[in-house]
Amino acid sequence: MTNKKVSFWRIFWASLVAGLTIIILIFVLFMGAIGSLMNSKPVYTVKDKTILHLELSGQIDEITRHEMNFGTIGMANQTGLVDLLYGFEKAAKDDRIKGVFIELKGANCGYSTATEIRKAIDRFEEESGKFVVAYHSGEFVSLKQYYIASAASENYGFHSSMFEFLGLGTELMFYKGMFDKLDLEMQVIRGSNNDFKSAVEPYFLTEMSDSSRLQLQTYLNNIWTAVKSDIGEARGIPTEELDRIADSSLIKRVEQAVKYNLLDGVKYRDEVIQLLADKIKIENTDDLNFKGFEKYAKKKFEAQQNVAHTKKANIAVIVAEGAVTVDGDGLASNNITKLLREARKDKDIKTIVFRVNSPGGSALASDEIWREVKLANEEKKVIVSMGDLAASGGYYIAAPASKIFARETTITGSIGVFGVIPYTGKMLENKLGLTFDRVSTNKHSVLSTNKKLTEKEMSLIQKEVDHTYSNFLNIVAEGRNMTVDQVNEVARGRVWTGLDALKVGLVDTLGGINDAIAYAAKDAKIEHPIIRYYPKVEKEAWMEFIEAFEENEEAVKGNMVPEELTNMYNRVKNVEQMTGIQARLPYEIIW
């Protein structure tokens, strides 16, 4: 018997052809499925006696974002606050909707956004008479999660869930000790009296300064007061009692939350589903019609915006969210200035609502946006609505508006500037043995992180920082009809909550985005508002295919990339976009 030797290339080419054939066949079938779906796009329907199911989890941005999540091979849709508010408004008037079932699973937002959602729940219940039932499950119930849900007419919790009700607190990390060990020095230049601009304190201190401690304690106290007030009103509990509960750590489990009237009962999920069935008089829970609240809200808002972008809209709402940069993914001046110009030059637009949710950023980009807001306000009034944050550069771009709205829990102010220049020469020499030498034509030709700044060079940079701060003061003084001295008293880099900002004249009234829009319409004498949001949320056709597929198939849950790594990556991206002098919030606030 002879063994025939098979050629490697014969096997290789046969395998390659077979593999390519399979790939081409799959591609053809896939494209055929997409074509079929696009030609017969599924119709979104809502049946009678429907209960909207709202699962608040993950990041809540200002507007909805549609992105492909390659970790799960599905759509990563971040629900926007605007969609949620509009969803509650439409559901209140929709006779097919009998109520809302809320399950909160780690919603990530600031307290101003949480307040907006609470107010929307309140209005929904008051205007429609329909029920809102909230259910808390998972490992533990956070304070913010409960704060949002406390507006619901009924609140229940899972038996073994932990319940957090301890008040508010924060912890800061200081790097000076580590830098000293590394022989690394951060050369910090703040505005001359910007003692509240404490973002840079961790670089040269080992604990909070008195100024930093004061502003932190003040705004935490203000937010806690607002949270207690809203919860106390909703649950009929005096705020003094809520303080006693928090101080004594009386609530650690859902059973204790029921005992102290923060929850209405302890139930398993099937018991809550039966309760919902009883409310709309359906015997079998299998016959309940649940519809995703987020999808309902998105569809309603998208339909309204499709009309607003084809008809002659009379109110423009420009959403500015993220760190202020010249270009990039955040609040980029290259994009926002175009949108402001477009709204200003549109003769049908009678007024502009500028929604700002930003910790600040580039001083140059802030100035570019400020200019466009000022020009727009001179032609048609600009009304600013502040979100969770409108601080430093975020306040700079709001200053020229004719009226500023903020929530009690909005973090604003931080009128100040700073610069940080690391000195790495000593570290590189002592730790790695690296040394540097220089040749130059003039005294200051070489400005390097490996060469410590001279007193003269520090003085030059200090003058530029002070000049930027002085310009900031003048910008605010002009926009707020205050003197520079009056602004300087409340500036110095100090952070304020919306409530205190109202008292010191940095904002005009307390309210949310819908309050700002209602005021803008009334002020411009618009009887029938047609509201157009910028930027328009675009959805590609293939995204519709993915969404439809996920509706019919159980999508893979979870992200293969850990959330902490994703957050770290986003922080690095933000650092890369920091160029020039910064007008930025003193802290990175992780909600």
Give Cβ neighbours of residue 123 (< 8 Å, ≥ 6 apart): 88, 89, 92
Tell the residue number behind the tokens 């490996």, with chain if given.
Answer: 450
Query: H-helix or E-strand containing 486?
Result: helix 484-490
Residue 205 and residue 197: Cα distance in Å, rounded? 13
Residue 353 and residue 515: Cα distance in Å, rounded? 11
Residue 187 and residue 204: Cα distance in Å, rounded? 9
CB 16 within 8 A of CB 256: no
Residue 367 and residue 360: Cα distance in Å, rounded? 11
Distances (CA, A) of 329 to 44, 304, 321, 495, 576: 31, 26, 10, 25, 12
Residue 65 and residue 334: Cα distance in Å, rounded? 19
Residue 355 and residue 321: Cα distance in Å, rounded? 8
Both tokens of residue 502? 């109202």
CB 382 within 8 A of CB 376: yes
Q: Is 576 exposed, middle or buried (0-12, 13-18, 19+ CB in 10 A)?
A: exposed
Q: Quick count: other Cβ atoms within 10 Å of Cβ 36?
A: 10
Residue 451 and residue 278: Cα distance in Å, rounded? 75
CB 81 within 8 A of CB 113: yes
Q: Which residues of 512-523 are buried (b: 16+ CB within 10 A; e: fewer)?
A: bbbbbbebbbee
Residues pairing with 436 in the sheet: none
Residue 219 and residue 15: Cα distance in Å, rounded? 67
Both tokens of residue 300? 């309603």
Both tokens of residue 439? 């040749």
Distances (CA, A) of 60 to 56, 83, 85: 8, 10, 12
Distances (CA, A) of 237 to 41, 73, 242, 247, 408: 50, 47, 7, 15, 20
Q: Quick count: other Cβ atoms within 10 Å of Cβ 422?
A: 15
Active site residues: 197, 392
Q: Which residues of 318-339 are buried (b: 16+ CB within 10 A; e: fewer)?
A: bbbbbbbbbebebbbbebbbeb
Residue 543 and residue 40: Cα distance in Å, rounded? 15
Angle at the Cα of 454 from the Cα atoms of 452 and 459, rounded to 5 degrees: 125
Give Cβ neighbours of residue 392 (< 8 Å, ≥ 6 apart): 359, 360, 361, 414, 415, 416, 417, 493, 582, 583, 584, 585
